[in-house]
Amino acid sequence: MSKCEEILDILEELYPDAAPALKFRSPYELLVAVILSAQCTDERVNRVTAELFREHNTPQTMLLLSQEALEKYIFSCGFYHNKAAHILSASRDILEKYAGEVPSTLEELRTLAGVGRKTANVVYAVAFHGDAIAVDTHVFRVANRLGLAHGKTPEQVEAGLCAVIPKERWSRAHHLLIFHGRRVCHSRRPDCEHCAVAPLCEWFRGSDASEESPKTTE
């Protein structure tokens, strides 16, 4: 068994409940929620979308809002101006290019205006059960520390993870690494003393666990 699979097996035992924290009822709702989640907690996004999705949960109904009106809904998520623009741009593309339905392939998702690689990967993996690894700040940090993948950009880490993780485990690995990052491997002062994978962790074995973690692209 490889080190990578050993780590994943341990995390699987620790976090059998690992699953998306964002609340959604359709691929479109998930797409909007993931756009809003950039540098914002899932809890806050869920509060915002609970209100937003009451009347605006399809591309058609979302485009009834002006950018200014949408910004008022999502203000508390931060970066509201850019996020509103991205949501409206993606909604137009979905209507004009895909007959109002969120495309189900990774290649098509990545063509949507305002949709970045991480967002496309999340929607593809979660809504359409595809094989993809979305690298957010938690995945980036945990993968680098454990030594599963080394990289200075999310794209480099994604490529590294895809190279060592069996394809059928990509999507699951994404959720497991996120859970471990949130619960144990914190950005500052990770709880190495209670980490089940510490003996396999490059960062733990090569540093003083009492020190702050290296800076990552949060």
Domain that holds residue 98: 27-127
Q: Which residues are catalytic?
A: 118, 136
Residues 63-82 have a mean pLDDT of: 98
d(CA 91, CA 68): 16
Say if residue 64 is in the same domain as residue 149. Answer: no
Task: Report the range of poorest mean pLDDT among 29-33, 74-78, 136-140, 213-217.
Answer: 213-217
CA distances (Å), origin 144, targets 31, 119, 141, 170, 204: 27, 21, 5, 16, 11
CATH code for the domain in which residue 80 is found: 1.10.340.30
Residue 107 covered by a domain? yes
Domains of the chain: total: 2
139 and 89 assigned to the same domain: no
182: which DSSP letter? H
User: Looking at residues 44-67, what average pLDDT do you find?
Assistant: 98
Place of tokens 């979305």: 134
Provide the token pair at 123.
Answer: 């929607």
Model pLDDT, residue 206: 86
Question: How many Cα atoms are found within 13 Å in the side-chain-facing hemisphere of 170?
Answer: 21
Angle between helices 154-164 and 137-146 (to 10 degrees): 60
- For residues 117 and 164, membership in a common domain is answered with no
Domain membership flag for residue 211: no
Structural domain contains residue 21: no
Better-predicted residue by pLDDT, 215 or 189: 189
pLDDT, residue 208, reads 45
| pLDDT, the chain, mean | 93
Task: Report residue 1's pLDDT band, with 50, 70 and 90 as the boundaries.
Answer: confident
Task: Note whether residue 212 is domain-resident.
Answer: no
User: How sure is the predictor about 210, in pLDDT bands with cuts at 50, 70 and 90?
Assistant: very low
Confidence of residue 114 (pLDDT cuts 50, 70, 90): confident
What's the pLDDT at 211? 38
Residues 48-60 have a mean pLDDT of 98
40 CB neighbour count, 10 Å cutoff: 17
Task: Write the pLDDT tens digit of every residue in 158-209.
Answer: 999 999 999 999 999 999 999 999 999 999 999 999 999 999 999 999 864 4
Last residue of a domain, one of 100, 127, 154: 127
Same domain as 174, residue 110: no
Same-domain pairing of 175 and 119: no
